[in-house]
Structure 1
Amino acid sequence: MLNKITLGLALLLALSACKDGRYAGSTRHLAPIPPETLSLMATEGVSPSDPILLRAYKKEAEIELWKRGADGRYALLKTYPMCRWSGQLGPKTREGDRQAPEGFYAITPASMNPNSSLYLSFDLGFPNAYDRSLGRTGTHLMVHGSCSSQGCFAMTDEAISELYAVVREAFAGGQRAVQFQSYPFRMTPENLARHRQDPNMAFWKNIKEGADRFEVAGTEPVVDVVGGRYAFDAGADASTADAVARKRADDERQVAALVASGTPAVRLVYEDGGQHRAFRETMMAAGDGLGEVSRPEALASGPREVAMPAQGPVALVGRREPVRSTAAPKPSGTSVTVAERRRLLETFAAAGDGPK
Structure 2
Amino acid sequence: MRRAVLLGAAALALAACTSESSVPKDLRPVPQKLVYQMKSDGMSETSPIFVRLYKEESKLEIWKQQGNGKYALLKTYDICKWSGVLGPKTKEGDRQAPEGFYTVTPAQMNPNSSYYLSFNIGYPNTYDKAYGRTGTNIMVHGACSSAGCYSMSDENAGEIFALARDAFKGGQRQFQIQAFPFRMTPENIAKHRGDPNMDFWMNLKEGYDHFEVTHVPPTVAVCDKRYVFDADAGGKAFVA
1:221 aligns with 2:218: yes
Q: In the alignment, which of 76, 81, 91 is matched to residue 79 of structure 1?
A: 76
Q: CA deviation at 1:171?
A: 0.3
Residue of structure 1 in register with 2:187 after alignment: 190
Q: Is the 8 A contact 1:62 1:80 kept in 2?
A: yes
Q: Distance in 1 between matches of 2:132 and 2:220?
A: 19
Q: Which runs of 5+ in 2 are unaligned?
A: 1-21
Q: Distance in 2 between matches of 1:37 and 1:122?
A: 21
Q: CA deviation at 1:241?
A: 4.2
The CA deviation string for residues 87-109 of structure 1, in whole angstroms up to 9 with x for no partner, is: 00000000001110000000110
Q: Distance in 1 between matches of 2:114 and 2:23?
A: 10
Q: In the alignment, which of 149, 154, 158 is matched to residue 155 of structure 2?
A: 158
Residue of structure 2 in register with 1:231 after alignment: 228
Using the aligned pairs only, state the percent identity: 57
Q: Distance in 2 between matches of 1:235 and 1:65?
A: 28
Q: In the alignment, which of 192, 196, 199 is matched to residue 199 of structure 1?
A: 196
Residue of structure 2 in register with 1:57 after alignment: 54
Q: In the alignment, which of 207, 211, 221 is matched to residue 208 of structure 2?
A: 211
Q: Which runs of 5+ in 1 are unaligned?
A: 1-24, 245-356
Q: CA deviation at 1:210?
A: 0.4
Aligned residue type for 1:72: G
1:126 aligns with 2:128: no
Relative to structure 1, the CA distance from residue 97 to residue 35 in structure 2 (aligned partners, 3 Å threshold; closer, same or farther) is same
Q: Distance in 2 between matches of 1:222 and 1:190?
A: 27
Q: Distance in 2 between matches of 1:231 and 1:133?
A: 14
Q: Secondary structure of 1:213's match?
A: helix
Q: TM-score scaled to structure 1, two decimals?
A: 0.59
Q: Distance in 2 between matches of 1:72 and 1:220?
A: 11
Backbone CA RMSD of aligned residues: 1.5
Q: CA deviation at 1:142?
A: 0.3
Q: In the alignment, which of 140, 144, 169 is matched to residue 143 of structure 1?
A: 140
Residue of structure 2 in register with 1:98 after alignment: 95
Structure 1 runs of 4+ off > 6 angstroms? none
Aligned residue type for 1:224: A
How many positions carry a matched residue from both structures? 216
Relative to structure 1, the CA distance from residue 26 to residue 134 in structure 2 (aligned partners, 3 Å threshold; closer, same or farther) is farther
Q: Distance in 1 between matches of 2:231 and 2:83?
A: 34
Q: Is the 8 A contact 2:118 2:139 kept in 1?
A: yes
Q: Is the 8 A contact 1:26 1:115 kept in 2?
A: no
Q: Distance in 2 between matches of 1:155 and 1:241?
A: 33
